[in-house]
Amino acid sequence: MTTEEQMMRYAQLSFPLEAELGRCEMSVGEILALAPGSVLTLDQPVGTKVNLYVGGADFCSGDMTRPGSAVALRITGFASRQAGQ
């Protein structure tokens, strides 16, 4: 199989993408009290870069944006990769 054929084969794979807005810690009681309209205070201020993970690995970062009624991530940079990763 040629390199091009291998690349085309891998191009069909899919991976989960996760964008992390921030984190918080809550007690079990606070979690059980969550309801529609609850607001969680995250550890990152508004305007902070959002990290995007591919298959659980840090891949890139970007800015949250709102094109119309959707929420989107505008990629601004990629995670540094060491040789062999």
Question: Is 36 inside any structural domain?
Answer: no
Question: Is 9 inside any structural domain?
Answer: no
Q: For 17-67, how does the pLDDT look when each residue is reduced to its tens digit (9 = 90+)?
A: 999 888 999 999 999 999 999 999 999 888 889 999 998 899 999 998 888
Question: Is 75 inside any structural domain?
Answer: yes
Domain hosting 65: range is 15-22+47-79
Question: Is 66 inside any structural domain?
Answer: yes
Whether the predicted pLDDT of 85 surpasses 70:
no
How many independent structural domains does the chain possess? Answer: 1
Question: Is 62 inside any structural domain?
Answer: yes
Pick the more confident residue, 11 or 32: 32
Written in H, E and C, the secondary structure of the chain is CCHHHHHHHHCCCCCCEEEECCCCCCCHHHHHCCCCCCCCCCCCCCCCCEEEEECCEEEEEEEEECCCCCCEEEEEEECCCCCCC
Question: Could you give the CA distance from residue 47 to residue 25 in angstroms, rounded to a whole number?
Answer: 21
